[in-house]
Amino acid sequence: MISKRTHTRSRHTSLVLCALLGVTTSLTGQKHRAYSKPTRPAIPAVKAGDWPRNPIDAFVLARLEKAGLQPARSAERARLLRRVYLDLTGLPPSIADVDTFLSDRSPDAYAKTVDRLLASPRFGEHWARH
C-alpha cells in the first residue's frame, strides 16, 4: 500500500515535471484556468437601478437582492471622513479637517481627501507597522 506521504510526493513531482515541460492541461485533461484568457462578465440587471454608482456596485446589489436584502443608506459626510481617516492613517481627523471637508461641496471632495491622505507621511507610517 502506498503511504499518503509517498502519494503526495509523487503528485508534487508530477506537477513539477508538467510545469518544466510546459504542459498546460491538468491531469484530467482540462485546461488550467491560469492559461485561459479572462473574460469580462455581463453586468447584472438590478431592480434598484439608481443605487449602483459603478459596475461593481451592480454585482454587489444583485447579490443583495438575491439574498432579499437592501443596501445600507449612505453614511453622513462626517462619519465617512472619520472612516477614511482611520482606515488610511489610523488617526481620527482633526476638527479643522472635518470643517474643511464639510464645507467642500464639490463632487470630488472625497476623492481629493483620499488622495491627500494617501500622499501624507501618516499613511506610510500607519501601514509600515504591518
Of 8-22, 78-92, 105-119, the poorest mean pLDDT is in 8-22
Question: Measured between alpha carbons, how far is 45 from 130 in angstroms, rounded to an integer?
Answer: 40
Mean pLDDT over the full length of the chain = 85
Q: Is residue 128 predicted with pLDDT exceeding 80?
A: yes
Sequence-ordered list of residues with C-beta below 8 angstroms from that of 44, at least 6 positions apart, any chain: 58, 59, 62
Q: Is residue 129 predicted with pLDDT exceeding 70?
A: yes
With contact defined as beta carbons under 8 Å apart, do 59 and 93 qualify? no
Is this model's pTM higher than 0.75 or not? Answer: no
For the chain, give the percent of residues with pLDDT over 70: 78
Position 50 scores a pLDDT of 86
* Site of grid cell 507597522: 129
What confidence category does residue 19 fall into, taking pLDDT thresholds of 50, 70 and 90? low
Phi/psi of residue 51, nearest 5 degrees? -75, -45
- Give the model confidence (pLDDT) of 29-88 as tens digits: 677 778 888 899 999 999 887 888 899 999 999 999 999 999 988 899 999 999 999 999
